[in-house]
Structure 1
């Protein structure tokens, strides 16, 4: 295990307990909590600084720092809304991409080095228009201007970006829940755990065999999800095979897996749970740029990668690379219908507010 991996594991362990290391960090967490509260009050008392949309805005975010599984939820949500007749647009940060004062917009096949790996994947999977910028409010304005036909906006992350007005909030967490319940750096939370009482939906992303953490207090819908592989695509040829068929044809070979996501072990555990024996696994840092091929030193006959990594790996032209497409299985799919109904009520209200002249 690398030094970086050991450090990450030690931090994660400390964040699950209120031990000595966490307690020593508490004064810094108190300062962070005070700054968070002051920021919230500023936006509450100065609503003119909040960018409101003429459309319903759904924010999909998290409290726990790091990967909890927001991207699969954003994709599933966008696709579910499209199936129900909506025309969603997406706003995202564009992690790792250099952007100037203006947001960057696009649709369809987008380059990961221009939009970020997650936005590129979301655009590819949903075909929905997307705008990226660290300031989500700027991304929202650009999205509405360049794609006037959209009728709902989904923010990929952005729960803490209070300058972005929102109508519905979805928090994605995993089996770690809120950890030790403390705010950074004494704990893993970007905001106090009490924030969960204000959101609309809490989705807990679980690996095989994991149990959900204790339910949060409050009125939010609380459901679980587990990712399951549905099909596999050979990256060089585009050949698509259903997961069960791929397992029959290639699963007995020497198969390895590589992932550069927030929780690589979750990907590996999913593959094992669904019938695959892995010869080797390689966990890379989240959002790794793949500047050099990590695959050339791997002797495997087949190498499985995530769809998020695939948008950066086509240039290696390695015929052994197969992209695993996984879809979430929700404990209660009625939440998507509930959301659809909420949007049906919100949309005309938002339109009327936009059409009403300001009294200023």
Structure 2
């Protein structure tokens, strides 16, 4: 049965590959370069690479320089839009603005004269952005075979689909990760709400991220005893119902900051609901690679 499932997924990946190439040929042909710098934070991974947290980090850097920044999210990633918007609620409205759009290039073209920098959260495969600074968050070697593509594997595109000379590769590592080279970015859990470090806590991890396994490992490293993990799909609109059902059983629950964006404030205030606050540590030489 496993062999049949694997074969089916491989065939599905082959069809995905055909659709990917056709879509790019018909709809994502390179377009005229925009008049302002465009930074695209992406990854070969379909999800779970840390694109949104790093987008926020990069936006803060440009904000400190006094730049006017437009951050573009895909409208389907509504929780990421909320997460970024909340991070910059206190920022001057004229300095940072977050857009949810189905067409990043069209939106970028329309607003380019109003901002100093356009920053895309994802959009790594959008080949319309000629001359963009493409940042790739790497957790492993770039994929090169069809078996690595969705749904057989976790990747959306292959190494040969991109001009590697245009890509800035940044090695990433998590709490328990190891990197051959010194990592450019380290993702870790800084704190967990409603939790005192050093005290025992047994909880259910509910995760709607692209890499739930890494999230569970990270909170275990922080000291949480994870007795059960519930995995939901990315951008899950039923996430709040799942959380409510577990809380009704008097369970402690740990969720990510992104997943917290799917919940009402009244639910976030529940004493048994814990949000893992992520910390990003970026190497000193990273800005030299980016600018």
Query: With structure 2 as the length reference, what TM-score do the two structures score?
Result: 0.78
Residues 281 and 196 (structure 1), Cα distance of their counterparts in 2 relative to 1, 3 Å cut: farther
Residues 309 and 93 (structure 1), Cα distance of their counterparts in 2 relative to 1, 3 Å cut: same
Which residue of 2 is the match for residue 47 of structure 1? none
Which residue of 2 is the match for residue 168 of structure 1? 133
Q: In the alignment, is the contact (CA less than 8 A) between 2:208 and 2:235 conserved in 1?
A: yes
Q: CA deviation at 1:51?
A: 5.6
| Structure 2 residue corresponding to 1:210, chosen from 170, 177, 190 | 177
| Structure 1 residue corresponding to 2:255, chosen from 298, 301, 305 | 305
Q: What is the distance in 2 between the residues matched to 1:334 and 1:130?
A: 27
| Structure 1 residue 140 corresponds to structure 2 residue 108 | yes
Which residue of 1 is the match for residue 188 of structure 2? 228
Q: In the alignment, is the contact (CA less than 8 A) between 1:212 and 1:224 conserved in 2?
A: no
| Structure 1 residue 285 corresponds to structure 2 residue 236 | no
Mind listing any 5+ residue stretches in structure 1 that lack a counterpart?
A: 1-6, 15-19, 45-49, 97-115, 216-221, 235-244, 343-360
Q: What is the distance in 2 between the residues matched to 1:296 and 1:284?
A: 14
| Structure 1 residue corresponding to 2:157, chosen from 161, 173, 191 | 191
Q: CA deviation at 1:67?
A: 2.8
Alignment of 1:57-96 (within 5 A): 57-95=38-76
Residues 228 and 252 (structure 1), Cα distance of their counterparts in 2 relative to 1, 3 Å cut: same
Q: Any idea what SS the aligned residue of 2:48 has? A: coil
Q: In the alignment, is the contact (CA less than 8 A) between 1:63 and 1:191 conserved in 2?
A: yes
Q: CA deviation at 1:137?
A: 1.9
Q: What is the distance in 2 between the residues matched to 1:301 and 1:189?
A: 34
Residues 296 and 212 (structure 1), Cα distance of their counterparts in 2 relative to 1, 3 Å cut: same
Residues 84 and 233 (structure 1), Cα distance of their counterparts in 2 relative to 1, 3 Å cut: farther
Q: In the alignment, is the contact (CA less than 8 A) between 2:254 and 2:275 conserved in 1?
A: yes
The alignment's C-alpha RMSD in Å is 3.4
Q: CA deviation at 1:202?
A: 1.5
Q: CA deviation at 1:39?
A: 5.5
| Structure 1 residue 130 corresponds to structure 2 residue 111 | no
Q: CA deviation at 1:314?
A: 2.2
Q: What is the distance in 1 between the residues matched to 2:259 and 2:122?
A: 19
Query: With structure 1 as the length reference, what TM-score do the two structures score?
Result: 0.65
| Structure 1 residue 254 corresponds to structure 2 residue 202 | yes
Q: CA deviation at 1:156?
A: 0.8
Of stretches 190-199 and 85-94 in structure 1, the one that deviates more from structure 2 is: 190-199
Q: Any idea what SS the aligned residue of 1:273 has? A: helix
Which residue of 2 is the match for residue 181 of structure 1? 145
Which residue of 1 is the match for residue 92 of structure 2? none
Which residue of 2 is the match for residue 328 of structure 1? 280
> Deviations 1:80-105 (Å, cap 9, x if unpaired)?
22233333220111216xxxxxxxxx
Which residue of 2 is the match for residue 350 of structure 1? none
Q: What is the distance in 1 between the residues matched to 2:271 and 2:97?
A: 31
Q: Any idea what SS the aligned residue of 2:225 has? A: coil
Residues 233 and 210 (structure 1), Cα distance of their counterparts in 2 relative to 1, 3 Å cut: closer
Q: In the alignment, is the contact (CA less than 8 A) between 1:59 and 1:166 conserved in 2?
A: no
Mind listing any 5+ residue stretches in structure 2 that lack a counterpart?
A: 90-95
